């Protein structure tokens, strides 16, 4: 199959992501073997089933943002990028997630914003869970300060870029026109215009979907909590909240300040779901996803038809 340079680069990016996923899966085997003595399939079957339901809802949420691709294509894409996000160290899997979604869409900004929206909704849900924990279960705010700072900063940047900044760009345009002349003014105006166009691309992605995305995100995290709560006999709600908060904090610190329930059963459950997700991701990467990726490079099943770096519309004429 003939591919231009951009498509070849995209396919090589997929091959690179697969190799990194394989490396992450191999590194994880040490943790899986350590938890294997406590793997009790009969005890973990119910929480694992709930966990799978949460992933299915995440796939539905992604489908809503992508614009309704074929169900099989959606599931194959979702489980591959989710495996990369979960197993590639240092959260570098998020870059793979962006790269693969951009590769399918052939639209860099749309792909980046879709992942941004997913993470923004998840961050708000995590922030609500932390507030509930502080308000009702006596969680020390200082113990989760890192998490609060990261979530707050991400929400602040999102509000600033997508709500506040677009309203101020008109004044910035006037300042550039009054302060600069010639080509420099034109270059600056084009940069400002590009920023405006990118910030406005969020609106079409959320138009008519805000309630659905909110309900889906709420349901996803309720299922995540329910899966963890089913592992505890006493105070399941509080223990599940503590477990999730501890996991979030552990992602950002090698020595998390939150003491969370880490029983042999919860460790075994975490190992089981990561092993399953990684195994599915690798299997799909070797079979269905690889074939769909090659075919998708030619067909672009839900692409915008524009160069991947372009913004949504042509620049306004600047004189």
Condensed to tens digits (0 to 9), the pLDDT of residues 113-135 reads 999 999 999 999 999 998 888 88
Residue-level pLDDT at 263 = 63
Asked if residue 236 lies in contact with residue 230, where contact means CB atoms within 8 angstroms, the answer is yes
- Give the Cβ contact number of residue 232 at 10 Å: 18
Residue-level pLDDT at 23 = 93
Condensed to tens digits (0 to 9), the pLDDT of residues 47-105 reads 999 999 999 999 999 999 998 778 888 899 999 999 999 999 878 889 999 988 988 88
Helix (H, G, I), strand (E, B) or coil at 49: helix
Q: Which residues contact 37 (CB under 8 A, 6 or more apart)?
A: none
- Give the Cβ contact number of residue 89 at 10 Å: 11
pLDDT greater than 80 at residue 302:
no
pLDDT greater than 60 at residue 153:
yes
Distance linking the first and last C-alpha atoms of the chain: 45
Residue-level pLDDT at 79 = 95
Condensed to tens digits (0 to 9), the pLDDT of residues 67-79 reads 877 888 889 999 9
Residue 123 CA to residue 117 CA, distance in Å, equals: 10
Angle at 195 between CA 62 and CA 192, to 5 degrees: 170
What does pLDDT average to over the chain? Answer: 82
Residue-level pLDDT at 240 = 80
Helix (H, G, I), strand (E, B) or coil at 56: helix
Which own/partner pairs from 161-165 qualify as long-range (CB within 8 Å, at least 24 positions apart)? 161/199, 162/199, 162/202, 165/195, 165/199
Residue-level pLDDT at 297 = 52
Residue 27 CA to residue 99 CA, distance in Å, equals: 23
Which strand (E) or helix (H) includes residue 114? helix 108-136
Condensed to tens digits (0 to 9), the pLDDT of residues 261-300 reads 556 778 888 889 999 999 999 999 999 888 887 776 545 5
Residue-level pLDDT at 35 = 79
pLDDT greater than 70 at residue 199:
yes
CA distances in angstroms from 279 to 94, 163, 222, 285, listed in the order given: 18, 41, 25, 10
Of 53, 105, 100, 51, nearest in space to 80 by CA? 100
Residue-level pLDDT at 4 = 63
3-state helix, strand, coil split of the chain in percent (to 5) is 80, 0, 20
Residue-level pLDDT at 51 = 95
């Amino acid at each position: 199959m003939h591919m231009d340079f951009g498509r070849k680069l995209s396919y090589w990016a997929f091959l690179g992501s697969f190799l990194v996923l394989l490396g992450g899966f191999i590194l994880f085997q040490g943790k899986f073997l350590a938890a294997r003595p406590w793997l009790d399939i009969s005890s973990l079957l119910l929480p694992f089933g709930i966990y799978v339901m949460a992933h299915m809802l995440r796939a539905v949420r992604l489908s809503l943002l992508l614009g309704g691709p074929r169900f099989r294509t959606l599931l194959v894409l979702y489980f591959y990028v989710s495996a990369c996000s979960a197993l590639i160290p240092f959260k570098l899997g998020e870059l793979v997630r962006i790269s693969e979604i951009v590769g399918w869409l052939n639209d860099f900004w749309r792909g980046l914003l879709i992942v941004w929206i997913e993470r923004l909704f998840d961050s708000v849900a995590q922030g609500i869970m932390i507030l509930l924990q502080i308000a009702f279960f006596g969680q020390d705010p200082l113990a989760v300060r890192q998490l609060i700072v990261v979530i707050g900063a991400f929400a602040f940047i999102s509000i600033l870029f997508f709500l506040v900044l677009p309203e101020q760009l008109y004044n910035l345009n006037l300042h550039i026109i009054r302060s600069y002349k010639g080509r420099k003014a034109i270059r600056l105006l084009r940069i400002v215009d590009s920023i405006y166009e990118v910030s406005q691309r969020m609106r079409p992605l959320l138009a008519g979907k805000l309630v659905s995305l909110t309900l889906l995100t709420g349901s996803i995290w309720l299922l995540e909590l329910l899966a963890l709560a089913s592992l505890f006999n006493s105070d399941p709600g509080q223990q599940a909240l503590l477990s999730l908060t501890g996991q979030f904090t552990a992602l950002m610190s090698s020595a998390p300040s939150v003491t969370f329930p880490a029983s042999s059963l919860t460790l075994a459950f975490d190992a089981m779901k990561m092993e399953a997700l990684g195994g599915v991701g690798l299997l799909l990467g070797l079979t269905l996803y690889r074939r769909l990726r090659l075919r998708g490079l030619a067909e672009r099943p839900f692409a915008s038809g524009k160069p991947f770096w372009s913004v949504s519309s042509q620049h306004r004429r600047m004189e």
